[in-house]
Amino acid sequence: MRIRSTVVRLAIPAVALGLVLSGCAGSDTEGTGTSSIGTTNDINPHDVSELRDGGNLRLAVSEFPPNWNSISNDGNNADIANIERLMMPQSYRIDPSGNPILNTDYFTSIELTNTEPQQVTYTINPNAVWSDGSPITWEDIRSEAEALSGRNKEFLIAANQGFDRVEKVERGVDDRQAVMTFRTHYAEWRGQFAGNGFLFPKSVTSTPEAFNKSLVDSIGLTAGPFLLQSTDRAQGRIVLGRNPKWWGATPKLDTVTFSVLDSAALVPALQNNEIDAVGIGRRDDLATAQGIPDIAIRRAPATQWSHLTFNGAPGSILSDPKLRLAISKGIDRQGIATAIQNGLVADPKPLNNHIYLEGQTGYQDNSLGFDPAAAAKELDDLGWKLNGDVREKDGRKLEIRDVMYNDETWVQLAQIIQQNLAQIGVKLTIDTRPGKAFFTDVIQPGDFDVAQWSWVGDPFPLSSLNQIWGYNPNDLQGNYGRIGSPELNDLIEQTISELDEKKAIELANKVDRSIFEEGHSLPLLQSPGIVAAKANLANYGARGLATFDWTKVGFLK
């Protein structure tokens, strides 16, 4: 998860997949949307003067946060980021076209003040304070930059976000200014505290102990229009209320309530007036939502995409990249798109790029294509010979486990892949797991041969290259398949060092082709981004690349 327009990709299990994919075959609901990122979103825009003061917006999340530190590996989850957008500082807002706009609530200016060496000067809004009233200062920026630098491996970070390239952060003209000096160029310097990245207080980022553990049970200091009002882990409920120390525009809502719901319970909860908006990923759910009184269907392709990641760790059955490539060629991704998204979008297509989304500047098809005949020949050449229905080599059957959250949509997708691979003599076993601790206990340790989940990102497509596809055995970050090469690492380094945008795009597509050729992972589907929401809910819905302005979200008078 950029997207792939993104800075940091956030992994989300299928329980949150209303916005990500899916479908049940046989519905006659017509798809009218597109799978391409556009220049607009669909949020029912209204001036705040048209909104009533107060109200509680009720939304759903897939699980209670295992760690509220969303820049840590344990907290690298889309649900957590979506909650924290209401509470944590970010340097830029994003418009529907994906352009960054300075977030003046937190910074009066952010400027590239030098290129040799590269320097960025952050000037903090003098009114910006943490929820205890203490000022946000340059020390918060310095502390986070050091924590995410990767120099101290005890910090269990989700991604470097370019801070591994920062040489130092110094005090500027006063405590409200930070001067960041880079050791080597960093192309997406605007995304370090934007998109899916937040600025945390130095109390969270100053030591590994604080970074890894201090926010496990609850979030601490925040600095947004809302703050954490209450949590109920037993009931699966999180309530945010207005921040009395907020210095910006007063939010229209009084509270925002997040309830932990299973994916199967989302549309019924909307029907029963228990929540106010839900992502839609199945045709039958779309048909149901369209029949609910006072519900509007909002569409804009989302920055989320599903994929299949291979486990290439030493000793795994798929450690041979040639084997991964052969299996990749046996998977009919267009067939998957047609089966899953027909009825949701007008012209279903697979996603053919890991880095850019279709419709985004830089997107091109770098995939290897579907070729089951070539796949079978390559398997033969590798010594995997058919023995009945399943290939064998050295007495070992070519049987692989596909691990996923136990959700109907993921299982449907896996069943299609299972049928594809059976045609070339590969047995795929579907291995479903509960949503709780799916990433911390299953994916991060590598308990899979192949695995399905979704990545979520933002409009900074290069910043996650190291996180997902750079390979360092001592620094996992998001490369859960443990696949990579020195050559790919070098190409990633070259790409994220390129300050010329056109050249960076060319290099990024070379990176993408290399990712395909390594058999790292297969992008599958881009989310159609369908949201069913209360018709009187304004400035909220299918946001596309844009960010919400949470001071303007509310209900019409």
Domain assignment present for 16: no
- Number of domains observed in the structure of the chain: 3
Q: Which two tokens stand for residue 424?
A: 């070339």
- CA 366 to chain centroid, in Å, comes to 21
Shared domain for 467 and 552, answered yes or no, is no
Domain assignment present for 3: no
Shared domain for 203 and 113, answered yes or no, is yes
Shared domain for 312 and 407, answered yes or no, is yes
Q: Say which DSSP state 157 is in.
A: B
User: Using only C-alpha atoms, what is the Rg of the chain?
Assistant: 23
Per-residue pLDDT tens over the stretch 143-173: 999 999 999 999 999 888 899 999 999 999 9
For residue 307, what pLDDT is reported? 95
- Residue 452, φ and ψ in degrees, nearest 5: -120, 130
Domain assignment present for 12: no
Shared domain for 194 and 146, answered yes or no, is yes
Domain assignment present for 451: yes
CATH number reported for the structural domain that contains residue 267 in this entry: 3.40.190.10
**Range 96-114 average pLDDT:** 93
Q: Which two tokens stand for residue 416?
A: 């299609």
Shared domain for 323 and 283, answered yes or no, is no
Shared domain for 327 and 234, answered yes or no, is no
Q: Say which DSSP state 55 is in.
A: -
Residue 177 contacts by C-beta under 8 Å, 6 or more apart in sequence?
Answer: 121, 122, 123, 124, 138, 171
Shared domain for 55 and 97, answered yes or no, is no
CATH number reported for the structural domain that contains residue 126 in this entry: 3.90.76.10
Query: What is this structure's pTM?
Result: 0.81
Question: What percent of the chain is predicted at pLDDT more than 90?
Answer: 74
Task: From 157, 191, 214, give the residue that closes a domain.
Answer: 214
Q: Which two tokens stand for residue 178?
A: 């930070």
Shared domain for 331 and 466, answered yes or no, is yes
Q: Which domain holds residue 144?
A: 78-214
Domain assignment present for 70: no
Shared domain for 522 and 542, answered yes or no, is no
Residue 397, strand partner residues: 392
Per-residue pLDDT tens over the stretch 329-387: 999 999 999 999 988 888 899 999 999 888 777 889 999 999 999 999 999 999 999 99
DSSP three-state, residue 179 = strand
Shared domain for 361 and 393, answered yes or no, is yes
Residue 373 contacts by C-beta under 8 Å, 6 or more apart in sequence?
Answer: none
Per-residue pLDDT tens over the stretch 461-504: 888 898 899 998 888 778 999 999 999 999 999 999 998 889 99
Q: Residue 355 and residue 357: Cα distance in Å, rounded?
A: 7
Per-residue pLDDT tens over the stretch 38-68: 667 899 999 999 999 999 999 999 888 989 9
Shared domain for 522 and 437, answered yes or no, is yes
Q: Which two tokens stand for residue 492?
A: 């990633």
Shared domain for 273 and 362, answered yes or no, is no
